[in-house]
Structure 1
Amino acid sequence: MGVLSRLSALLTGQQPVAAGSTTTVPILVIGSTGLALAQGLEKVGIRCIVVEKNESLDAQPRDWNMGLHWGAESLQALMPEAMWLRIQSIQVDPSTPTPAEDAIQFLNGQTGELMTSVPANKFYRLRRRKLGALLAQGLDIRYGMKLEKIKYSEDGRYATASFTNGPSITASLIVGTDGARSTTRELLLGPEQGSIRTLPYCATFVQARFRAEQALFLRKFHPLYLACISPAGYFSFFGLHDVPNPKRPETWTFFFYISWYSSLEEQEATAHWSNAQRLQQGKEFSKNFTDPWKSAFSWLAEDQEVWYMSLSDFDPGAEGHRWDNKGGRVTLAGDAAHAMTYQRGQGLNHSVTDAGKLVVAIQDFFSGLKSRGDAIRLYEEEMIARAGGEVRMSTTNTEMVHDWQKVLKSPIMTKGMTKVHDNKSKN
């Protein structure tokens, strides 16, 4: 029997355990943002359990959408073929095919003049909720399990996760994929070093429907997505979020936001603001904008719900951020490892790339090609260099796109949406 077969037999959860004690499994994935990783593991025959602190994938009240471009190859490799063939169905508008060549237009936010077109070839705009539902199919997901602590066996072989409710789970490897505010990361680094960094930038997001004639007007600027940068120091995005019926514009949901510089003191002073105040602030900002932002904000009802958030990051390459993986028994991936700002549209692409590379690393130590410690160390070194570099570039980009004197030298203007390693190879 090979190493993979022996380990799988040992950790399938089929050996006798006392009632209410510990479940065992080869790989434990903490957080439902690790569903792509779980699909990749299942695809190569390595059993895993995914635990999610919420009661369902749809527990969060708000949905959002994400751009997938250079990371599409990794996501496709992780999915079963039949699942990948459904990728069109989870886009913001399933009726609009993804073109082989496209570009995101960046407008001057005040004049409407075209500043630049950033190439976005095979640019998938995916709804988070639909992507999660697709990736969840066929997986062993345990809901309502909030991570409390991790213990490591003295023999160096296992890690055991304990939860505020539910049985403990022992695994050969625990992977924290529990988002930007990762509990796993805080357990590894402590609450101070393991926390995200709040940046002096904020954004107010809107998801709204409009009357049919208004929706048709808003969509004429681009069928799916559009960006603008204002000389007044604002960055904005506008696009579709959901098209349930392409023939009924009144059913379309649009997704748009304005982001701006906001000192940490200002953020604290306005932390108590109501939804009405946030909405009114957005409306005031938009008065000096070009369309579609100007009209979209002005057409919003006075009770329209908005979504305000501070921007933040976590750089795994920063001093004090290197965690101890306990000989390859615990690691991080996705936003848990590298939370980044979104004005360069890189988060999903790095997350699925992490998943693809981590599946290979896990196969390497299950097959005996590498030791577990070496396999996870090499995965982390590549991930930290790649995604850590992107965290820093994305934060720099966020700073520059909110400063009109620096906009044209910002990474989104000079490097587009290519990954950090691609940029380095061109310099």
Structure 2
Amino acid sequence: MIQQPMRVIVVGAGLAGLAIAHGLKKNNIPYVIVDRETAPRDRNWAITLGWALPLLQKLLPDNLYDSIQQCQPDPNLDAKLAGQTGLLVRDGATGEAKTVSRFPSIRRLNIQKTKRHFSEGLDIRYGKRLVDIALAPGNDAGVTAYFDDGTSETGTTIVGADGGASHVRRWLLGDLALPEALPCDFMNFSFTLPADIALRLDKEMNPTVDVGAHPSNMYLGVFLLDKPDIERPETWVFYILSTWSLSDAGIHHPGSRLSELRSRMRDWFDLFKVVVDNVPDDVEIKPDQLRIWKTRPWDNHRGRITLAGDAAHSMTFHRGQGGNLAIKDADELVKNIITVQRDKVPLQDAIDTYDKGALLRGEEVEISRQCSMAFLDYDNFENSPVFKMGVNPAVKF
């Protein structure tokens, strides 16, 4: 049983960290969030929440959950309608639907908007890059996080919610914490379009997720990211995710990354081809990699250090599970910490219980990897988890 009042140090102000903090605050459990960023990152993307939405509602205060629609790329899209239209996977050559996954409700959320929204009312300290962790002597004596600005935070438990390259995970596991790069070329970039093309895309694409698997063993998805001015389609922001195998002996264009993508679109169905053709020539496509971390057990040091979200199970996006699992982690962690605060369950027992669930949820990393590889193996695509599981949770946890 702990010898001091609970205080949780959440490292990372991303989706998992913010959801955990709200759950703790809602239950009057002291916390602080620290984040290495001093300003918002210039990268943006969207996440899809389906089965985890009821869990998120439990964690957030009513005012934030009731206004979550403002975080959507299209704030006018109804969640039930989005659930009915579902998540669409097309044949990249014909544009015909190969499979659709549906839920009672779906929220597609712009991550930058969501982080700003979820930050409201929380104690977040920015510019705190973790450099070390120290365990106080004794079984229940707490833990201290040290930062590169010379400051520190002391509490009962540190939660590493600091992403796929987690510093907390590296402290726990050393080189075993390093992520693995998949053998794929990967593009992730945003852009605007001429008004007529933007209107056509908005009308014809699936409003939540619209992706294609092409016979050339290539994946491409086109997504809405933001509508800053509903009345001016030329301001709408879209983004593309695309992958193909690094061993692909096909076209390797000597020019820009956009030139290479365009050269690979010749046999794609018209809508996606037109979109890529109309991406501005000066768009920046930064080098990128798909990275995963296959969850392995960690020593939580008698309940004083654990992991959540991408830090606990870093996976690819092809099955849309990362955001949902981050919320599931947050819900389970908060529930177990409540048992320490209210029921006097020993901290180690509570965090051990949480860690077992997080480890089980880590099975999704391999399933998502298989989905990523399946998009690059068109002939066998219909044997993949995309068809067998859709985007439902892989296991009951």
Q: Are 1:393 and 2:376 an aligned pair?
A: no
Secondary structure, in 3 states, of the residue corresponding to 2:378? coil
Picking from 96, 115, 121, the partner of 1:132 is 115
In the aligned structure 2, how far is the partner of 1:173 from the partner of 1:211? 51
Picking from 233, 239, 260, the partner of 1:281 is 260
Q: Are 1:187 and 2:201 an aligned pair?
A: no
8 Å Cα contact 1:242/1:254 also seen in 2: yes
Secondary structure, in 3 states, of the residue corresponding to 1:405? helix
Aligned to 1:17: none
Picking from 55, 60, 65, the partner of 1:79 is 60
Residue type of the partner of 1:393?
I
Residue type of the partner of 2:378?
W
Residue type of the partner of 1:390?
E
8 Å Cα contact 1:118/1:413 also seen in 2: no
Aligned to 1:238: 222
Picking from 274, 278, 292, the partner of 2:271 is 292
Matches within 5 A, 1:285-364: 285-316=264-295, 321-364=296-339
Q: Are 1:51 and 2:34 an aligned pair?
A: yes
Residue type of the partner of 1:229?
A
In the aligned structure 2, how far is the partner of 1:155 from the partner of 1:302? 61
In the aligned structure 1, how far is the partner of 2:189 from the partner of 2:262? 11
Q: Are 1:261 and 2:242 an aligned pair?
A: no
In the aligned structure 1, how far is the partner of 2:305 from the partner of 2:324? 22
**Offset at 1:103?**
1.8
**Offset at 1:120?**
4.0
Q: Are 1:67 and 2:48 an aligned pair?
A: yes
In the aligned structure 2, how far is the partner of 1:211 from the partner of 1:277? 21
8 Å Cα contact 2:159/2:305 also seen in 1: yes
Residue type of the partner of 2:322?
G
**Offset at 1:409?**
0.9
Aligned to 1:117: 100
In the aligned structure 1, how far is the partner of 2:307 from the partner of 2:52? 18
Residue type of the partner of 1:290?
F
In the aligned structure 1, how far is the partner of 2:206 from the partner of 2:244? 25
Residue type of the partner of 1:382?
G
8 Å Cα contact 2:142/2:304 also seen in 1: yes
8 Å Cα contact 1:67/1:345 also seen in 2: yes
TM-score with structure 1 setting the length: 0.87
Unaligned runs of at least 5 residues, structure 2: none
Residue type of the partner of 1:182?
S
Picking from 358, 367, 387, the partner of 2:342 is 367
CA-to-aligned-CA distance 1:185-240 (integer Å, 9 cap, x gap): 001000x2011111112321231111111111222222523111001101111121
In the aligned structure 1, how far is the partner of 2:65 from the partner of 2:171? 35
8 Å Cα contact 1:145/1:166 also seen in 2: no
Residue type of the partner of 2:332?
K
8 Å Cα contact 2:180/2:293 also seen in 1: yes
Residue type of the partner of 2:44?
D
**Offset at 1:380?**
0.6
In the aligned structure 2, how far is the partner of 1:307 from the partner of 1:216? 27
Residue type of the partner of 1:92?
P
In the aligned structure 1, how far is the partner of 2:128 from the partner of 2:89? 43
Secondary structure, in 3 states, of the residue corresponding to 1:306? coil
4+ aligned runs moved over 4 Å, structure 1: none
- How many residues are paired up? 389
Secondary structure, in 3 states, of the residue corresponding to 2:256? helix
**Offset at 1:179?**
0.2
**Identity value in percent:** 31
8 Å Cα contact 1:95/1:246 also seen in 2: no
Picking from 384, 393, 396, the partner of 1:419 is 393
Aligned to 2:136: 153
Unaligned runs of at least 5 residues, structure 1: 12-25
In the aligned structure 2, how far is the partner of 1:308 from the partner of 1:346? 24
Residue type of the partner of 1:408?
E
Residue type of the partner of 1:171?
G
**Offset at 1:294?**
0.6
Deviates more, 1:238-247 or 1:225-234: 238-247
Residue type of the partner of 1:40?
G
CA-to-aligned-CA distance 1:244-296 (integer Å, 9 cap, x gap): 22232111111122211115x99xxx9xx99x621211111122211322111
Aligned to 2:126: 143
Deviates more, 1:155-164 or 1:360-369: 360-369
CA-to-aligned-CA distance 1:160-204 (integer Å, 9 cap, x gap): 1111114211110000000000011001000x2011111112321
8 Å Cα contact 2:194/2:278 also seen in 1: no
**Offset at 1:7?**
4.3
Secondary structure, in 3 states, of the residue corresponding to 1:421? coil
8 Å Cα contact 1:104/1:120 also seen in 2: no
